[in-house]
Amino acid sequence: MPRLHFKGKVFVENHHLAVPFHELLPVREKGLSEKAGLHDNLIVHGDNLAALKSLLPTYHGKVKCVYIDPPYNTGNEGWAYNDNVNSPLMRDWLGRVVDRDDLTRHDKWCCMMMPRLKLLRELLREDGAIFVSIDDNEVHHLRSLMDEVFGEENFLATAIWQKVFSPKNTAKYFSEDHDYVMAYARRIDAWRPNLIERGERAVKRYKNPDDDPRGPWSSGDLTARNPYSRGTYEVTSPSGDTFGPSVGRYFVVPIEKFHALDEDGRIWWGKNGDSMPRLKRFLAEVKKGVVPQTLWLHTDVGNTQEAKKELVSTLQFERSEDVFNTVKPSRLVRRILQIATDPDSIVLDSFAGSGTTAHAVLAQNREDGGNRRFILVECEDYADNITAERVRRVIKGVPNAKDDALKTGLGGTFSYFELGRPMRQESLLDGSHLPSWEKLASYIFFTATGQEFDPSEIDRDTGFVGRTASHDVFLFYQPDVDELKSLALSLAEARALPAGSRRRLVFAPTKYLDRDFLHQYRIDFQQLPFQIYEAIDRLER
């Protein structure tokens, strides 16, 4: 498979592995839940690369649908590359605004996107999919990146979204009327789209000019270009005219099947019975929905003007410049939800912006009775006063909204989190920042097993963290330097572990048992990350 090469790629291909886990700190007063929790709807304020890594212990392999709207890299967005990659080249890029005069702007964009796409892939379910909004500036680079990260065999489609409904006569060359939404499956053999409900225009195509008791119908061609040896016959219409396929075409059914359809009143010969026969398809007999198409008209999924009006009416902006230039309509995201989610799906947006994805999730839940959950990540300072504020108003109600459901409020809750400090080696070694028992438990459980940490399973009295198919996992730890100095897996602690035949995976600062005793008690021992106890003891000497 051809691969995309760009400046800095060698430094970012595995950068997502080096990103440290960070604490996720709840800020209860900014959310709308009585008790903040990671299994609620979430809004996380902080760098999205670090936030995605920190969500892995809870949401690895759990997300059904990812929708992201990353910078289009037009040169006018004011974004800067800020990933802490260990390379002099990359450090020289840090904090510099990427504009049109930057000759490495495409390289920087690819370096920014690659590790984020890799973490998003880890968060997706096997039957999940990712949808990415993009325009002509980076669509070609995005396709290559997605092929490399997700596999070209998992490409689903690139939909064209009609973002404006009238031409821009001020355009220099062409009026750009569309953006793209690129879609990839996590595993294409496991993903299936939902059918889309027929729109009003599609239903109007079904009529009943002959008053057929089976109801409205539309007609379709009975011929095709595919050669068919039994499709070369001629038929006679009620008016006596003879019809056959045109040159290079064939009837798609044999003659006996044609006569059976005609006897059943499923052949339409035209109003006067003198037209080329067509097959009648009754509305009552077709599927309730249609397969998703790749052309998304503004009348079906909204446009940029609608998106801005939606945001203005929700947040009551006083000035037009307060509105995001690239905000998306909630109907666009709802189309993605209709295609790619189940009623209980988790939906993730790591470039949350104004919070459109949360709005769309709540609206879709209101419409179909679903219980979808959203996870938003926003790095900018407006995460509270725009992103979260929009979600608060959508949940509680927007008095001046035209939509009655939005006026009374779509309902729901969410928890607000700030990205905390990283669990770095130096802070653990010197005891300057020891994580809580629960945070370290989630970290060691995920890193050791690759499975989701379920806080409801923990038992602090025994140190039980969770179970895998083969092991029960235990943690002996206290976020206190003095207690850590005397904390160890001893014979007494080994004997006190819950009885059973399963093997035990035990994390502790140190142990006082040799290999034979560990084998006897079915224990696989792992010293706590970074050898906390030994390092502290050595530093104090």
Predicted pLDDT at 128: 98
Positive or negative: CA dihedral 448, 45, 108, 106: positive
Say if residue 74 is in the same domain as residue 187: yes
Question: Is 236 a domain residue?
Answer: yes
Predicted pLDDT at 531: 41
SS3 assignment, position 473? strand
Predicted pLDDT at 118: 96
Question: Is 506 a domain residue?
Answer: yes
DSSP H helices, 102-161, are 105-123, 139-150
46 contacts 22 by C-beta, under 8 angstroms: yes
Say if residue 103 is in the same domain as residue 143: yes
Helix (H) or strand (E) holding 92: helix 88-93
Confidence of residue 533 (pLDDT cuts 50, 70, 90): very low
Q: Output 176 or 442, whichever has higher pLDDT.
A: 176
Question: Is 511 a domain residue?
Answer: yes
Q: What is the rounded CA–CA span in Å between residue 447 and residue 469?
A: 16
Residue 91 has pLDDT above 80, yes or no: no
Residue 55 has pLDDT above 80, yes or no: yes
Question: Is 387 a domain residue?
Answer: yes
Say if residue 48 is in the same domain as residue 166: yes
Say if residue 465 is in the same domain as residue 346: no
Say if residue 374 is in the same domain as residue 470: no
Say if residue 190 is in the same domain as residue 204: no
**Mean pLDDT rounded to a whole number for the chain:** 88
Q: What is the mean pLDDT of residues 199-220?
A: 88
Boundary of a domain, candidates 365, 391, 420: 420
Helix (H) or strand (E) holding 306: helix 304-315
For residue 500, give every residue at least 6 positions away whose Cβ sits within 8 Å of its Cβ, in sequence order, or none: 472
Say if residue 361 is in the same domain as residue 479: no
Residue 292 has pLDDT above 90, yes or no: yes
Long-range Cβ contacts of 311-320 (<8 Å, 24+ apart): 311/354, 311/390, 313/398, 313/400, 313/401, 313/402, 314/359, 314/390, 314/393, 314/394, 314/398, 314/401, 314/406, 315/354, 315/386, 315/389, 315/390, 315/393, 316/400
Boundary of a domain, candidates 282, 301, 332: 282
User: Diameter of the chain by CA atoms?
Assistant: 108
> What is the domain extent for residue 296?
9-197+291-420
Say if residue 386 is in the same domain as residue 531: no
Say if residue 431 is in the same domain as residue 401: no
pLDDT in tens, 471-515: 899 999 888 877 877 788 889 888 888 888 889 999 888 888 888
503 contacts 479 by C-beta, under 8 angstroms: no
Domain count along the chain? 3
Q: Domain containing 416 — which CATH number?
A: 3.40.50.150
Question: Is 3 a domain residue?
Answer: no
Confidence of residue 217 (pLDDT cuts 50, 70, 90): very high
Is the pTM higher than 0.75? The answer reads yes
Q: What is the mean pLDDT of residues 231-253?
A: 94
Predicted pLDDT at 541: 37
Q: What is the rounded CA–CA span in Å between residue 334 and residue 84?
A: 35
Neighbours of 275 (CB within 10 A): 15
Question: Is 329 a domain residue?
Answer: yes
Say if residue 142 is in the same domain as residue 76: yes
Q: What is the mean pLDDT of residues 126-132?
A: 98
Q: What is the mean pLDDT of residues 450-460?
A: 81
Q: What is the mean pLDDT of residues 163-180?
A: 90
Boundary of a domain, candidates 253, 282, 311: 282
Question: Is 108 a domain residue?
Answer: yes
Q: Which of 19-28, 292-301, 329-338 has the lowest average pLDDT?
A: 19-28
Say if residue 458 is in the same domain as residue 407: no
Say if residue 468 is in the same domain as residue 527: yes
Question: Is 530 a domain residue?
Answer: yes
Percent of the chain beyond pLDDT 70?
Answer: 94
